[in-house]
Amino acid sequence: MDPNTFNQRDAYKLVEGLATGQFKNEISLLESLIKDVVDHGNFNIVGGRIWELDAEEELYRLRYQHGNLKKIPEGYFVPIKKQPIFKKLKAQRTILNVETDKVLLDTGIEFFSITGVGELVKLPSGTYFKYAIGFNAPEILQSFYETLAIISSVASIALINLSTNAEKLKINKDLERASEIQRNLLPEHKLEFHDYKIFGVCIPDSKVGGDYFDYLKSPVGQEERLGIVVCDAASKGLPAAIQALFVSGAIRMGVGFSTRISNLINRLNTLIYDTFPSERFVTLFFCELTLSSNRLVLYSNAGHCPPMHYCPESDSIKYLDATGGLLGLMQNQKIEVENTTMCPGDIILIYTDGITEARNSKNEFFGEKRIAEVIKKHHKESSKTIAYSLLEEVQNFSANSQINDDKTIVVIKRDPK
């Protein structure tokens, strides 16, 4: 699997708990984030700070600092007009730079990042984030920038969740309606496409979820193909459901215009980046079944859990690893297209991380190994049996766990000879 993609997911999992944690206010939430990031050794970050916008005075005031650095004087502030980098955050979200402020230089900060989080506030001089979180490290790398892109998105999601908690009771009816809409957009579980037998199931953890799958037939008059998409939105609850619905519509429209996979997925990445300023990133796996003599399968994997391709002839499993990063994370990233071939009896099993990351009472993950065992045990049975057997194993494994997530499974099986 691409190591850069792994680093992104590792960073996301570290701070994901912020979105569902209990905090007194926005500052306490961001303080927790700063501590987690600075104290996490793999990030090589030595110091972090929270700056809050004072709209009346048009300056950013230091609210919190943490790390192995000389302390910045209490109450220190930076006027916006003296630090134009704050104005650039609306367009770039995260900026890496060399420190020039004498007071901050005296504390040991040389290379730093500044990342906008929270709501946007319009002032006469421009539009600014309510908060800016700063980090510094001995060396600024591209991987550091990508890590911060995830951190800023998750922090914004968490702030939005915090501010909307008081409204949860009022929107319960809307959630019920959204759940109904989402269920109606999912396809029928079972589908046959020539000698392919396909079965999919999606179980949200709550009324609405961020998992989504669909079957997409080629337009009439075009070469007969079948697209299959599975996606997992990074946020939770209603924002995740909105993202999933957005992806659903965009994918269907793209396939309707007979768009090539590479163009479709890369365009979708740009749309998510432009449309969702806070809850930006989505993992997605898209494959296209063809009727070529060797049953070629084209696929793109945007940071998604690697589907498993089981070959009964060799009793082996091939992982369809990431061909690009998470969708929406960076505006101009490129997601590649790869291919595999399905021999008679072969199986491709696509799933979301609610399967692999299901936990038991000992806090152990279900993991990929157990998925492989289910496939091998039931590979002679129908795609429906394989899907429900895996789901049953996961539910039994995690029956006593307090941690749950949306779960989606799609099984593609080519008929044996």
Give the tens place of pLDDT for each residue, 278-330.
Answer: 666 889 999 999 998 889 999 999 999 999 999 999 999 999 999 999 988 88
Give the tens place of pLDDT for each residue, 370-415.
Answer: 999 999 999 999 999 999 999 999 999 988 877 778 899 999 999 9
Q: What is the mean pLDDT of residues 202-217?
A: 81
* 163 plus 180 within the same structural domain: no
Instruction: Choose one of 150, 167, 184: the last residue of a domain.
Output: 167
Query: What's the pLDDT at 170?
Result: 58
First and final C-alpha spacing in the chain: 32
Q: Is the pTM of this model over 0.75?
A: no
pLDDT of residue 1 exceeding 60: no
Sign for the CA dihedral angle at 184, 187, 190, 194 comes to positive
Neighbours of 289 (CB within 10 A): 25
* 137 plus 225 within the same structural domain: no
pLDDT of residue 339 exceeding 90: yes
Instruction: Choose one of 167, 194, 221: the last residue of a domain.
Output: 167
* 304 plus 399 within the same structural domain: yes
* 260 plus 378 within the same structural domain: yes
pLDDT of residue 222 exceeding 90: no
* 183 plus 240 within the same structural domain: yes
* 99 plus 203 within the same structural domain: no
* 186 plus 327 within the same structural domain: yes
Query: What's the pLDDT at 14?
Result: 63
Do residues 278 and 153 touch, judged by C-beta distance below 8 A?
yes
Q: Which residue has the higher pLDDT, 174 or 351?
A: 351
* 49 plus 149 within the same structural domain: yes
Question: What is the count of structural domains for the chain?
Answer: 2
Q: What is the CATH number of the domain that holds 290?
A: 3.60.40.10
Q: What is the CATH number of the domain that holds 112?
A: 3.30.450.40
- By percentage, how much of the chain surpasses pLDDT 70? 83
Query: What's the pLDDT at 200?
Result: 95
Residue identified by tokens 């990508």 is 146
pLDDT of residue 271 exceeding 90: no
* 152 plus 56 within the same structural domain: yes
pLDDT of residue 230 exceeding 50: yes
* 321 plus 249 within the same structural domain: yes
Instruction: Choose one of 117, 137, 167: the last residue of a domain.
Output: 167
* 358 plus 213 within the same structural domain: yes
Give the domain extent around 111: 3-167
Among 353, 216, 217, 331, residue whose Cα is nearest residue 283: 353
Give the tens place of pLDDT for each residue, 352-365.
Answer: 999 999 999 888 99
* 159 plus 295 within the same structural domain: no
CB hemisphere CA count around 225 (13 angstroms): 23
Query: How far, in Å, are 101, 105, 129, 138 from residue 82 at the CA level?
Result: 10, 15, 17, 25
User: Quick one: pLDDT band at residue 215, thresholds 50, 70, 90?
Assistant: very high
pLDDT of residue 124 exceeding 70: yes
DSSP collapsed to 3 states, the chain: CCHHHHHHHHHHHHHHHHHCCCCCCHHHHHHHHHHHHHHCHHHCCCEEEEEEEECCCCEEEEEEEEECCCCCCCCCEEEHHHCCHHHHHHHHCEEEEECCCHHHHHCCCCEEEEEEEEEEEEECCEEEEEEEEEEECCCCCHHHHHHHHHHHHHHHHHHHHHHHHHHCCCCHHHHHHHHHHHHHHCCCCEEEECCEEEEEEEECCCCCCCEEEEEEECCCCCCCCEEEEEEEECCCHHHHHHHHHHHHHHHHHHHHCCCCHHHHHHHHHHHHHHHCCCCCCEEEEEEEECCCCCCEEEEEEECCCCCEEEECCCCEEEECCCCECCECCCCCCCCCCEEEECCCCCEEEEECHHHHCCECCCCCECHHHHHHHHHHHHCCCCHHHHHHHHHHHHHHHCCCCCCCCCEEEEEEEECCC
pLDDT of residue 99 exceeding 50: yes
